[in-house]
Amino acid sequence: MKYVAIGAAVILVVFLAVLSQIPLGIEPLTELYFEEHTQLPSSVSLNEIYNFAFTTNNLEYQDMRYYYNVSVFDVNGSFVKSVGFGDFVIEHNESRTVEEGFLFAESFERAKIKVLIKKDHMNITPEFKTKLWWPDPNYPTEIDVHFWVDEVVV
């Protein structure tokens, strides 16, 4: 009976040691959204500047570098032009808002304004990844949001 109790105690200690290495409730996440999305333009006139802003919120449990690219695509998904690009670093639980503007000099019918961000972990390993952690195969390294605009024909 003494050996059974010792064996059970050893199993319990091993179980508790493994359990202490599991990060609980950690789900790295980056949010990307338009500021005042109800105010985004849906109809635009030629040669007039339209402004909008997008926000990136870092919930990745580490500092992150984000590269962004704002582009225009036609209804077939073909690239039309680049509106803006850049990069920034955000600490965990912080956010950054970027303001952009666009204009159309040539006639079009409908276009998609797309904001794409790419994540860069900057070769930093957060503490929770040093424990029993395996990468999520569905973890996105790129995130995008977009809106559509139509040309106002006068």
CATH number at residue 103: 2.60.40.10
pLDDT of 21: 67
Cα–Cα distance between 42 and 152 in angstroms, integer? 10
Domain of 130? Answer: 28-151
Could you tell me if residue 51 is inside a domain? yes
Q: Residue 70: what pLDDT?
A: 97
Residue 7 inside a domain? The answer is: no
Question: Is 5 inside any structural domain?
Answer: no
Distance CA 43, CA 28 (A): 36
How many domains does the chain contain in total? Answer: 1
What confidence tens digit (pLDDT) does each residue in 18-27 have? 766 665 556 7
State the Cα–Cα distance between residues 152 and 119, nearest whole angstrom. Answer: 36
Q: What's the whole-number average pLDDT of the chain?
A: 88
Domain contains 92: yes
Taking alpha carbons only, the member of 135, 132, 125 closest to residue 19 is 132
